[in-house]
Amino acid sequence: MIKEVIVVEGRDDITVVKAAVDAEVIATRGFGYNRKFKENLKNIAEKRGIIILTDPDYMGEKIRKDISQGIKNCKHAFLPQNKAIKGDDIGVENATTEDIIEALSKARPIMVEKTDEFTQDELLYLGFIGKPTSKEKREKIGEILGIGYSNSKQLLNRLNNFGITREEFDKAVERIEKNER
């Protein structure tokens, strides 16, 4: 059983996540939640912790950002878009049991102290910024590290705030480079 409470967007997400893991799961019901809902999440986070697993789209990212603002003990789990899509629909409810388990196993807290381990110059040098293949490389590294897809600014922020080690990063880059050859 997962100790933390998993926060998803909708009822269908609850069904799929509960089928994948033994955990308590609650839904935001989109962006329409109120202040009381956030206060409840804050209390849950203090007692048990929460894992935010929102859809890999604009609204899911907006909900994730809003919920985690001001709540300590939050972990973030990310599903890559290609593992959460069915037709034109992108969402947690479309993911397989295996993909949900993998995303939850890679859940990471935002670090209390930001590091400056990674730099924009390094990301530029490695081709995560400014190249025709940069978007694809950011998608791959986000999936490997379990930090989700992000633009170049978000990638740098997540690398420095989610406790990614130099070793983890280097291994992920190595995997990406092997696949490119």
| pTM exceeds 0.85, yes or no | no
Q: What is the C-alpha separation between 155 and 141, in angstroms, rounded? A: 9
**Parts of the chain with a pLDDT under 50:** 181
> For position 181, what pLDDT does the model report?
44
Predicted pLDDT at 66: 93
**Residue 54, both tokens:** 């929102």
Please, what are the domains in the chain?
Answer: 1-110 (3.40.1360.10), 111-181 (no CATH)
The whole-number pLDDT of residue 180 equals 62
| Helix, strand, coil % in the chain, rounded to nearest 5 | 50, 10, 40
Give the count of beta carbons closer than 10 Å to the beta carbon of residue 174.
10
**Residue 179: which residues within 8 A CB-CB, separation 6 or more?**
140
According to DSSP, the residues that pair with 109 across neighbouring strands are 75
Question: pLDDT value at position 27?
Answer: 95
pLDDT in tens, 36-85: 999 999 999 999 999 999 999 999 999 999 998 878 879 999 999 999 99
Helix or strand holding residue 6 (H, E): strand 5-8
